[in-house]
Chains A and B, each alone.
Chain A
Amino acid sequence: MAIVETRRITKLFDEVRAVDGIDIIAREGEFLVLLGPSGCGKTTLMRMIAGLERPTSGDIVIDGNIVNDLPPRARNVAMVFQSYALYPHLTVEKNISFPLRAVGMPKDEIRKKVAWATQMFGIQRFVDRKPRQLSGGERQRVALARAVVREPVVFLLDEPLSNLDAKLRNSARDELKQFQRSLGTTTIYVTHDQAEAMGLGDRIAILNQGRVRQIGTPHEIYGYPADIFAATFIGSPPMNLIEDGKTWIGFRPEAFLPKEIESNGDNVDFAFRITRIEYLGADRLVYGLIDGRTPETRLISKIPTNIRTHIDAGRVYDFIVRRQDIARFDREGGRRVDGGAA
């Protein structure tokens, strides 16, 4: 277990600032998620922590030691790649034992460790197979086993679930979090999927264009987004935004409900003309416009199905948002301006 720190870490590729002065700390035993769209620098940042990329400036600190000059193998980190990067010509057993053989561990110790790792992920019966004979989910477990077997101080996971079938992803996510909890190793996890980030992270760092926009727990990120980017990147469907003078007013779809549901309290009223309703099983997504407002302002409301208020497309209804659920963002810089209350 170790604390991983980056201090004003910057990476330039020719003129492009892929990573632009990032300071973050991954605390001991924490599951920290680096979340952002493609090109935001999250993978570059992780590769610098691993030692696969040299920072242009700034420091990487692992357990109090500046490791900038150390190659990956001297940092005692383990990495799981998006493609799993299993050695195609080696059996599962040889794949998993490779890092142990690389440091010259005695043979019976290797055997014990490999048995422990394969058991943890339930892949004992595959040990003599080659990667191409395994399914995607099985390969992912082999990659995890290979990472775990060295008992490193940091796990670096680069979108390890994105190549799995959608159905498999949820159960894999659950298993991943559980195994991290049981091992207690500091983990840094890169993804572009905000649902994955919310589900897995102890804390989430939202990145865009090489900078950290916000870092906090899922609760903090969702409820108190620090800027427009965080507000619209997290949450599906994204936050509703209305222009109001020099600011944006924002509120989440699930906070935007028919008046009859929540008529007491401090609310803002809207006349909502419904254009379309999507029935998704657990929720209804109601698409519409603010009635009579120009320019046309589209809004989405998310109503759980067990709220059976009758709604028809084409009609106007009274919808409200609780004042405490409204956030304001500056239209110039996108930063949140209303004290972040509620």
Chain B
Amino acid sequence: MTPEFARARRIASKAAHTAVLIFFVTFLAFPFYWMVITAFKTNQDLYDTQNNPYLFNSPPTLRHLSVLFEDTQYLQWLLNTGFVGVVVVIITLLLAVPAGYALARMTGAWAQTLGVAIFLTYLVPPTILFIPFSRIIATLGLQDSVWSLILVYPSFTVPFCTWLLMGFFKAIPRDLEDAAMIDGLSRFGAFIKVVMPISVAGMLTAVIFAFTLVTQEFVYGVTFITASSSYTVSVGVPTFLVRGDVYFWGSMMAACLIASVPIAIIYNFFVTRFVAGFTMGAIK
């Protein structure tokens, strides 16, 4: 190999690297870029097939946004989603934090197996359970109420967060609790006073993920709720923003954008921890 050849190879591999990144970023992020463009284009601009769709052929408008917030129940849906999210997150923490800690500290091989088993219930898809649930919810008189969602959503947030928190608590050295117990605390007291304060980062991660799981859910939402005022964003936008055959694309795109991007940005900060949980510690 000559130095010239080696230099050429280095340049070629850099070019390939950049090309790969451009291709995938385009593929993955383009729809969101497209949402942005569409949300601010006037309808004449959007629906004129002669226009170059990448450009603003008329000046951008905020009309779609005002339609979204004034003429539809989008704001109500955002509030519903937020409300459900907060309550479900609280329930999840109440159940998953103690369970995760117990699994992390229990001795015995079956503790690990139990942890995996709990995680596996996360994989049971809503599409297997939604049919019997529809009847259960109807029997409980909760249909068309956000409380049906609050009741059912922990069934997937709790398994996932228990697993996640189990991983976090495992990483905290037992020495700290042992020292606290020698100092007089009970084990539970050590958990509350010593372990939880230093696990804030882990619990925050669990909160973010539980919240995103709630905002993404669709199947139960579309099954249990038909009253438009009770929709969450994920269900309301695809089902209700279509009047007959007319799609209000501008408003729909704005709706999608608002409900996706902010949470994605927050999520981004927690991704590494999230993956550690997802991969069952196969990656140390």
Contact = CB atoms under 8 A, between A and B. Distances in A.
Nearest to A65: B3
Interface in A49-78: 66, 68-71, 74
Interface in B6-36: 6-7
B173 to A, nearest CB: 24
A69 B11 CA distance: 12
A15 to B, nearest CB: 25
Contacts of A69: 3-4, 6-7
A74 B1 CA distance: 6
A153 to B, nearest CB: 15
Contacts of B7: 69
B234 to A, nearest CB: 43
Secondary structure of the B contact surface, majority rule: helix
A66 B3 CA distance: 9
Contacts of A68: 3
A71 B4 CA distance: 12
Contacts of B3: 66, 68-70
A70 B10 CA distance: 10
A325 to B, nearest CB: 51
A66 B2 CA distance: 11
Nearest to B6: A69
Interface in A22-70: 66, 68-70
A171 to B, nearest CB: 33
B104 to A, nearest CB: 26
B221 to A, nearest CB: 45
Contacts of B6: 69-71, 74
Contacts of B1: 70-71, 74
Which of B1, B4, B7 counts the most chain A CB atoms within 10 A?
Answer: B1
Nearest to A75: B1
B2 to A, nearest CB: 8
B90 to A, nearest CB: 44
A335 B3 CA distance: 41
A104 to B, nearest CB: 14
A133 to B, nearest CB: 20
Nearest to B1: A74
Contacts of A71: 1, 6
B60 to A, nearest CB: 43
A40 B257 CA distance: 53
A267 to B, nearest CB: 56
Interface in A150-194: none
A250 B3 CA distance: 50
A68 B4 CA distance: 11
A66 B6 CA distance: 13
A65 to B, nearest CB: 9
Nearest to B3: A69
B91 to A, nearest CB: 43
Contacts of A74: 1, 6
A68 B6 CA distance: 10
B133 to A, nearest CB: 45
Interface string B167-197: 0000000000000000000000000000000
Nearest to A68: B3
Contacts of A66: 3
Residue among A68, A69, A71, A74 with the most chain B CB within 10 A?
A: A69
A129 B143 CA distance: 62
A71 B5 CA distance: 10
Interface in A197-220: none
A132 to B, nearest CB: 15
A70 B8 CA distance: 11
A10 to B, nearest CB: 19
B12 to A, nearest CB: 13
Nearest to B7: A69
Interface string A284-316: 000000000000000000000000000000000
A245 B136 CA distance: 95
A69 B7 CA distance: 7
Nearest to A73: B1
B88 to A, nearest CB: 42
Nearest to A71: B6
Nearest to A51: B6
Nearest to A54: B10
Contacts of B4: 69
B259 to A, nearest CB: 41
A99 B226 CA distance: 66
A74 B6 CA distance: 9
B6 to A, nearest CB: 5
Contacts of A70: 1, 3, 6
A71 B2 CA distance: 10
Interface string A234-246: 0000000000000
13 contacts: A66-B3, A68-B3, A69-B3, A69-B4, A69-B6, A69-B7, A70-B1, A70-B3, A70-B6, A71-B1, A71-B6, A74-B1, A74-B6
> Which 6 A-B pairs give the minimum distances between C-beta atoms?
A69-B3, A74-B1, A69-B6, A70-B6, A69-B7, A71-B6
Interface of A: 66, 68-71, 74
Given A68-B3, A71-B6, 5 more contacts: A66-B3, A69-B4, A69-B6, A69-B7, A74-B6
